[in-house]
Structure 1
Amino acid sequence: MSDPQRAERRTQRSLSPIWIVPLVAVLIGAWMIYDNLSRLGPSITLIIDNAEGIEAGKTLIKTRNVEVGRVERVSLSDDLGHAVISARMSPQAEAMLNDDTRFWVVKPRIGREGVSGLGTVLSGAYIQLLPGNSDQGRREFTVLEQPPVAPPDAPGLRINLVSQVGNAISTGDPVTYQGYTVGRVEDSRFDPDKREMRHLLYIQSPYDVLVTTTTRFWTGSGVDVRLDSQGFRVNVASLESLVGGGVTFGVPDNAAMGHKAKPGATYVLFPDEDSANEGSYEQYLEYVLLVDDTVRGLSPGAPVEYRGVRIGTVVSVPWNFTAPQPDSLSRFAIPVLIRIEPQRFDDSVEDIDTEDWYQRLDRMFGHGLRASLKAGNLLTGALFVDLNFHQDVVPFQRMSFVERRVFPTTSGSFAQIEQKVSNLLDKFNNLEIEPILGTLNATLESTRQTMEKVNGIAASLDALLADPATGQLPDNANATLRQLRDTLQGFSPDSQGYNELTQTLSRLEKLMRDLQPVVRTLNDQPNALIFDKKLTEDPQPRAAP
């Protein structure tokens, strides 16, 4: 018998080649996961008040119309006060996410500049990204309600305006200079502590040089219609300002151009151009007028003029009405506060010596300078303060009213007219009316008799014209004229009478020629018809001596 087969022991490898396949698969999967993660950009959070038109997985984030992200999730905040948007950005957008970056939703809008975002009607709304230049990175942003006026790094000038609540200026309103749009209002916010509006203005380059240290800003209302003591005025701004208003600026006529404004400078926003111009007169003299006449029609802002030239402004009507007056026992006048502005005479003077001006006006008071109220517009009844010199006025004693100097006054034009009318009525009352009425009655009686005679003459004339014989006068005159015409026609050159008359005149002319010797003889010898004509000897010439 042969030996039975014996098992042969062999040493087996620790790792079978079959495991290479799953290992490679794991490596490939890990590489794909790494590659996918490396291609993903940062995740950001957007805060928005209303997520209208925003859809998770569909709404894109774009810059310059290039996709740089996509919305992944839209949810409400914990306090339900706003919506929270989670978006995934592309790797190339990571450098754009900083403190200056701005986001807003692009959708169809109708604004002062027209209609925008019509391309999103079919494609849907998307979120626009405006890259910033800050070095500080950021991952959470607040979505703007309106598109920004200009990028943060746009060339130009940004300044601040402070105004009252009544100035209705909102974001996006135009900023104009002489009717041309040179910028926009970037932001408008109300400060409840100071109770004032604060506006951020952007003036685009190269128009930023127009804003100087002496520039004044005022509200552009589009159409400004005024009917006051200075007449009827209409000022029409640009069409955009006409629709939505805006801000206008310029340098007052009485001010120098000044230096270029610095970024972030603060200015006051005036309600209108006149207020802006008046705000440039920073030095003035205050006086109080104690007016005995009515002040109806006199309003704050009315001009104070000297012979038609404006030199000041009415500040308040009335002013401290209940304060005790210097001579309250003899009168109860209406106090009116005015300002005399010497800078209107010379705008190049920066520092005004007010005491010198007070003394100068005091000397003028001694020469009869007085203030009175006059009508500036008969249609509206608006009044203004007129300064002029008057003769035969009561000397003025210097006095004060509530720590303000008193400007002497005199009766206005209306009061003077009323006084003249009253004097005229008094003269009428003193007239003796009865003799005048008796003379007037006699005159009327004589006039009546004259009119009766005139009526009689008119009746006789009517009877004459109604007589048939008077009516035949034109026919008789026509017949006479016809006979005269026939007679004249008988002496025409072609008529027989004319020829006979011509022949008779010819014979008469011949007879006159024949009679000329006879007449000459009779002139020489009147008795020639009786006696013979004397023959005269021929004259003999004298002989030479």
Structure 2
Amino acid sequence: MSDPVRAERRPQRSLSPIWIVPLVALLIGAWMIYDNLSKLGPTITLIMDNAEGIEAGKTLIKTRNVEVGRVEKVRLSDDLEHAEITARMSPQAEDMLNEDTRFWVVKPRIGREGVSGLGTVLSGAYIQLLPGSSEETKEIFDVLEQPPVAPPDAEGLRINLISQVGNAISTGDPVTYQGYTVGRVEDSHFDPEKREMRHRLYIQSPYEVLVTSTTRFWTASGVDVRLDSEGFKVNVASLESLIGGGITFGVPDNASIGRQAKEGANYVLFNDEDSAKEGRYGQYLEYVMLVDDTVRGLSPGAPVEYRGVRIGTVVSVPWNFTAPQPDSLSRFAIPVLIRIEPQRFDDTEQDVNTEQWQQRLDRMFDHGLRASLKAGNLLTGALFVDLNFYKDAVPFQRMTFVKKQVFPTTSGGFAQIEQKVSNLLDKLNNLQIEPVLDTLNQTLASTQKTMDKVNGIATSVDALLADPATSQLPENVNTTMRQLRDTLQGFAPDSQGYHELTQTLSRLEKLMRDLQPVVRTLNDQPNALIFDKTLTEDPQPRASK
């Protein structure tokens, strides 16, 4: 009998269908995690001085009113000096996060430009993102306190201004040209090392062509009232500048337009328009005036004029007052530093030869050019320096004062008047008053006698007029005139007397004609009344021989 066959048991490994469900769930969860992670954008950190209106999980980050992120966390920094905001950005915003990107909080604001951000009153504040154009990425950003004036890639011109401390210019102030706003101040900060203010200006397109190499910038103070030696001036800027100030610019009169300004060019910000005009005269000659008269009313910035034309500026009054003065001076004078600016005569602003101008002035000193102080405004008493030629000027000996050449001076207008009055008083003191008084007394005595005679004549005339005969004289004259008129009326052409007179004259004329032969006979023969008239023969002409 054969052995029975025994079955062999072998274990078989197989996956139970029950595991299919958790595996599928695991795959779905992994895909969902991957999908969520792939849709998440980068995380950035925003630095703010004050997190007012920012709430974690609610405050949005927008650009062009499209949501590109959300604030996830708001906390204080470790040093407690600022707030740190962690925000999750969308994937599409990843390319926007670079060095030029700007963030600021949009909320209701009231400024010189008007009211903005009213839409956030109900919806709440949000963070605005302005994309940049840089290729370098960045994860930590400083949030701006004010919205930027213009995007970094905006068309226009950006320049830098440097000014002294004291100009009240802040971000957002207008930049005007002849009263029209053409730009804004993008940034203002103080440099403590150089002790000066630095401003960055944005000039919007197409007004960047107005900024050239000869352009001058100055502060627009709104209302500028000035009363000095040149008169009374009032300047009123735009209403916006009147409220908060601003910057204006232009090309000085008689100056060339210059070349187009380049991006990032540096300019100086002057305090006012007059300072901006004076700032273009960079080449000058410095002189010291040793003034013997009073300098009350003469202030720095006063004009130096030659016959009414400005050729320079007063720099300092007084200047090095305690420095030793030349021995040739007889009195302790007040030094005044002035500048002669030859560029005022040249509108092209080209370089001038200062040595040649100094030689020219030296020759003019020899011909009597002198400086004096004159009143420019009688109301304020402001003075200016007047240059003119004086024929009787004392010869000038060239000298220096603290290494500056001395400009020859002469007495000013008031000093000359005072000197003339003093000379007049000296002449009056030298006059011989006693002989003049004696002569005057004699004249007065003669005048008194003459007046006595005049009074006597007046008394006689009064007595004559008071006589009754004198009062009847007009009536007698009238009577005589009436009689004369009656007599003349008797000889009128239609009167009897006139007719008789005419007949008598006719008879007389006839008688005269009758007497003419008798008169001729008596002329020829006086004895014709006694003897007969002798007849003479007619004369016979002689015969020719």
TM-score by structure 2 length? 0.77
In the TM superposition, residue 327 of structure 1 has moved relative to its aligned partner by 2.8
* Distance of 1:376 and 1:235 partners within structure 2: 20
Paired letter, 2:324 = P
Which consecutive unaligned segments of at least 5 residues does structure 2 have? 1-8, 463-498, 504-545
SS of 1:315's equivalent? Answer: strand
What residue number does 1:360 align with?
A: 360
What residue number does 1:151 align with?
A: 151
Q: Note the alpha carbon deviations across 1:501-523, whole angstroms, 9 max, x for none.
A: xxxxxxxxxxxxxxxxxx9xxx9
Answering whether residue 374 of structure 2 is matched by residue 374 of structure 1, we say yes
What residue number does 2:332 align with?
A: 332
In the TM superposition, residue 424 of structure 1 has moved relative to its aligned partner by 4.2
Q: Note the alpha carbon deviations across 1:366-402, whole angstroms, 9 max, x for none.
A: 2221110001111111100001112322111222211
Equivalent residues in 2 for 1:18-167, closer than 5 Å:
18-167=18-167
Answering whether residue 385 of structure 2 is matched by residue 385 of structure 1, we say yes
* Distance of 1:242 and 1:261 partners within structure 2: 28
Paired letter, 1:283 = Q
* Distance of 2:363 and 2:442 partners within structure 1: 58
**Contact between 2:255 and 2:349, CA under 8 Å: does it hold in 1?**
no
What residue number does 1:483 align with?
A: none
SS of 1:363's equivalent? Answer: helix
Paired letter, 2:198 = R
SS of 2:243's equivalent? Answer: helix
SS of 2:50's equivalent? Answer: coil
Equivalent residues in 2 for 1:390-469, closer than 5 Å:
390-426=390-426
Q: Note the alpha carbon deviations across 1:256-288, whole angstroms, 9 max, x for none.
A: 111111111111111111111111111111111
In the TM superposition, residue 304 of structure 1 has moved relative to its aligned partner by 0.4
In the TM superposition, residue 179 of structure 1 has moved relative to its aligned partner by 1.2
Which consecutive unaligned segments of at least 5 residues does structure 1 have? 1-8, 458-518, 524-545
What residue number does 2:316 align with?
A: 316
SS of 2:105's equivalent? Answer: strand
What residue number does 1:292 align with?
A: 292
Question: Against the structure 1 CA distance between its residues 57 and 438, is the aligned structure 2 distance closer, same or farther, given a 3 Å change threshold?
Answer: farther
Answering whether residue 329 of structure 2 is matched by residue 350 of structure 1, we say no
**Contact between 1:158 and 1:202, CA under 8 Å: does it hold in 2?**
yes
In the TM superposition, residue 416 of structure 1 has moved relative to its aligned partner by 1.5
Decide which moves more: 281-290 or 125-134. Answer: 281-290
* Equivalences, count: 444
Paired letter, 1:23 = L
Paired letter, 1:170 = S
In the TM superposition, residue 437 of structure 1 has moved relative to its aligned partner by 9.9
* Distance of 1:336 and 1:317 partners within structure 2: 5
* Distance of 2:114 and 2:420 partners within structure 1: 63
SS of 1:347's equivalent? Answer: coil
What residue number does 2:259 align with?
A: 259
Decide which moves more: 247-256 or 426-435. Answer: 426-435
What residue number does 1:181 align with?
A: 181
Decide which moves more: 134-143 or 28-37. Answer: 28-37
**Contact between 1:254 and 1:344, CA under 8 Å: does it hold in 2?**
no
In the TM superposition, residue 420 of structure 1 has moved relative to its aligned partner by 2.8
Question: Against the structure 1 CA distance between its residues 329 and 383, is the aligned structure 2 distance closer, same or farther, given a 3 Å change threshold?
Answer: closer
TM-score by structure 1 length? 0.77
Decide which moves more: 285-294 or 326-335. Answer: 326-335
In the TM superposition, residue 342 of structure 1 has moved relative to its aligned partner by 1.2
Paired letter, 1:108 = P
What residue number does 2:221 align with?
A: 221
Q: Which runs of 4+ in 1 moved over 6 A?
A: 9-13, 432-443
Question: Against the structure 1 CA distance between its residues 52 and 12, is the aligned structure 2 distance closer, same or farther, given a 3 Å change threshold?
Answer: same
SS of 1:258's equivalent? Answer: coil
**Contact between 1:61 and 1:70, CA under 8 Å: does it hold in 2?**
yes
Question: Against the structure 1 CA distance between its residues 428 and 437, is the aligned structure 2 distance closer, same or farther, given a 3 Å change threshold?
Answer: farther
Question: Against the structure 1 CA distance between its residues 328 and 391, is the aligned structure 2 distance closer, same or farther, given a 3 Å change threshold?
Answer: closer
Pairwise CA RMSD:
2.8
**Contact between 1:306 and 1:387, CA under 8 Å: does it hold in 2?**
yes
* Distance of 2:444 and 2:303 partners within structure 1: 52
SS of 1:34's equivalent? Answer: helix
* Distance of 1:440 and 1:369 partners within structure 2: 53
Question: Against the structure 1 CA distance between its residues 349 and 58, is the aligned structure 2 distance closer, same or farther, given a 3 Å change threshold?
Answer: closer
What residue number does 2:239 align with?
A: 239
In the TM superposition, residue 11 of structure 1 has moved relative to its aligned partner by 7.6
What residue number does 2:268 align with?
A: 268
* Distance of 1:235 and 1:24 partners within structure 2: 83
**Contact between 2:215 and 2:252, CA under 8 Å: does it hold in 1?**
yes
Question: Against the structure 1 CA distance between its residues 161 and 438, is the aligned structure 2 distance closer, same or farther, given a 3 Å change threshold?
Answer: farther
SS of 1:259's equivalent? Answer: coil
